[in-house]
Amino acid sequence: MPVTYFHRTRRIFDLPGLRSGPPNEIMVESGEPTSSEAVALPCAEIAHDIETWVFDLDNTLYPAETNLFAQIDVRMREFIADYLALDLDEAYRVQKTYFREYGTTLRGLMSRHGLDPKEFLDFVHAIDLSPVSPSPALDAALDRLSGRKIIFTNASTDHADRVMDRLGVGHHFDAVFDIKDADYLPKPDPAVYDALVERYSLDPHKTVMVEDIARNLAPAAALGMTTVWVRTQSTVGQEGADAAHVHHVIDDLADWLQALADLPG
């Protein structure tokens, strides 16, 4: 079972693959030390009394190594090149500039050029999902997880449905809150999290949010949610990972959920 890191804890639980020692010296089996502020435990504190689980979609429900975004990235560049009559190099520059300035390329195109968002979303999400393998492990883990389950994504509901169908887990989710529901404001805009809470009458103190981009957890933590970062090698994903708004760090969603379900009581 991948090691789970819990920040700012007062309790330490035994896990396979851990060596004994003070909290800031606990090491995983590979010999890699954890953060000086983190200790390893199976997140017992969040296994009970949770009413709602909020999951990001891409690189959270399936491994980042699947690399669907590489396809989306190419299609965004192609769309911009055609839409703005640019060569591909200039289209790439515009794409990344808008992402940095607006949070998503889409928001930049809407703000600067009055783009119809549906046209863009339909085009960039028309990708090959065959790299996403069905996940019986995730299916089984979600089946054992009590409480409402909501997808919270900067992508479209159509894309979310296709990905969940591919994984074989769509039947576990009660709702998808997508970029359209967010009025095309991307995470981590705090207004989007407020809208999510209002739409589904969430009690943030009884809600867990799981996400692969660490900075997207900051507004959730500010509302009182418990946050879980799915560790990634992505520079964008790692930004803010050492901050106080990241409460738990995991390596594999299905394994972690199964570990939670296996906790006593």
Contacts with 74 (C-beta within 8 Å, 6 or more apart), sequence order? none
Domain with CATH 3.40.50.1000 in the chain: 49-64+134-262
Q: Are strands 175-177 and 148-152 parallel, antiparallel or unpaired?
A: parallel
Tens-of-pLDDT digits for all 265 residues of the chain? 333 444 333 222 233 322 222 222 222 323 333 333 333 334 555 656 899 999 999 999 999 999 999 999 999 999 999 999 999 999 999 999 999 899 899 999 999 999 999 999 999 999 999 999 999 999 999 999 999 999 999 999 999 999 999 999 999 999 999 999 999 999 999 999 999 999 999 999 999 999 999 999 999 999 999 999 999 988 989 999 999 999 999 999 999 999 888 877 6
- Cα–Cα dist 114/111, whole Å: 6
The fold of 68-124 is: DNA polymerase; domain 1 (1.10.150)
- Cα–Cα dist 157/178, whole Å: 6
> pTM (2 decimals)?
0.83
Residue type present at position 55: F
CATH 1.10.3720.10 fits 49-64+134-262, yes or no: no
